[in-house]
């Protein structure tokens, strides 16, 4: 396996490793600025590949912020290895999540983020947006980088297979097919409205964890994903 690196927006790098056995790609993102930020650490098994890839973008010991969509092995399994490799790094995650999860799991105290709170990295600023249980996990959140208008949307639009680094082709159909197959999303009455609210952001690029980055009409894609989930939720409720 190898980890490929692509710059998907100005100073935003996508690290991508395709794992053939699982037929899925695992993506991390580095924001290169005065205070470099990593979104997703990858699972522990990928740490040698991911840390090497990070080092080709910024010296790993200068990493300042370690972030992820929610607590799960592929999102943050290597969190403590990263903290060990980067002495000035701090994990930043939602405030509630820090209290129930990260305060205990991380080797150093995390920085709790309120909903809407912004971290200034230099020219780039990332805004925390809490999305509890969406697509799954109580502590779920996304980060919106305001300078490049990139939404680090984690497991939203998850799909199987290998894909290009950046596309403007449809990403909704593959995500809904994945949902039919494996049901990775916690479908609740709040799922569609929460995703629709994200569509209000001015987004140039959606940075997917398991799929390509997308630079088509991002609001439309989010609204279509929300509509698909709303249909599935209604159908499942009717069956119950
Ligand atoms: Fe996940
Ligand atoms: Fe994931």
Maximum C-alpha span of the chain: 53
Q: Average pLDDT in the 199-214 region?
A: 98
Q: Which residues of 51-79 are buried (b: 16+ CB within 10 A; e: fewer)?
A: bebbeebbebeebbbbbbbbbbebbbbbb
Q: From ligand 2's centre to the CA of 78, what distance in Å?
A: 13
Could you tell me the end-to-end alpha-carbon distance of the chain, in angstroms, rounded to an integer?
43
Q: What is the pLDDT of residue 204?
A: 98
Q: Residue 39 CA: which ligand is closest?
A: 2
What torsion, rounded to 10 degrees, do the Cα atoms 142, 229, 24, 91 define?
20
Alpha helices of 93-217 — where are they, by DSSP H? 95-97, 103-105, 172-182, 191-198
- Nearest ligand atom owner, CA of 134: 1
Closest ligand to the CA of 75: 2
Residue 239's pLDDT band, with cuts at 50, 70 and 90, is confident
> Measured in angstroms, how far is the CA atom of residue 136 from the centroid of ligand 1?
6
Q: What digits encode the pLDDT tens for the residues 5-24?
A: 999 999 999 999 999 999 99
Residue 70 Cα to ligand 1 middle (Å)? 7
Determine the average pLDDT of the residues in 134-152: 97
Q: Are 33 and 58 in contact (CB under 8 A)?
A: no
Question: 42 C-alpha to center of ligand 2: Å?
Answer: 9
CA of 46 to the centre of ligand 2 (A): 13
Return the ligand number nearest the Cα of 136: 1
Distance 201 CA to ligand 2 centre (A): 22
Q: What average pLDDT does the segment 153-181 reach?
A: 96
Is residue 161 predicted with pLDDT exceeding 90? Answer: yes
Strands 166-167 and 90-94: unpaired
Q: Is the full-model pTM beyond 0.85?
A: yes
CA of 97 to the centre of ligand 1 (A): 14
Residue 165 tokens, joined: 């680094």
């Amino acid at each position: 396996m190898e980890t490929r690196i692509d710059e998907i927006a100005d100073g935003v790098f996508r690290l991508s490793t395709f794992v053939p056995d699982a037929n899925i790609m695992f993506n991390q993102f580095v924001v290169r600025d005065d205070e470099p930020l990593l979104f997703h650490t990858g699972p522990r098994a990928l740490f040698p590949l991911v840390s090497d890839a990070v080092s080709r973008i910024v010296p790993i010991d200068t990493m300042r912020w370690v972030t992820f969509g929610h607590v799960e092995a592929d999102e943050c399994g290597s969190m403590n290895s990263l903290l060990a490799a980067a002495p000035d790094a701090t994990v930043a995650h939602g405030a509630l999540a820090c209290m129930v999860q990260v305060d205990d799991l991380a080797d150093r105290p995390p920085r709790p983020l309120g909903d809407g709170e912004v971290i200034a990295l230099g020219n780039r600023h990332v805004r925390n947006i809490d999305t509890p249980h969406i697509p799954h996990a109580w502590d779920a959140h996304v980060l919106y980088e305001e300078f490049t208008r990139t939404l680090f949307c984690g497991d939203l639009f998850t799909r199987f297979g290998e894909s290009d680094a950046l596309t403007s082709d449809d990403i909704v159909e593959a995500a809904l097919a994945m949902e039919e197959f494996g049901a990775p999303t916690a479908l609740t009455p709040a799922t569609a409205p929460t995703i629709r609210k994200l569509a209000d952001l001015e987004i140039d690029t959606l940075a997917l964890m398991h799929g390509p980055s997308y630079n088509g009409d991002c609001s439309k894609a989010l609204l279509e994903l929300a509509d698909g989930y709303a249909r599935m939720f209604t159908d499942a409720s009717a069956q119950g």
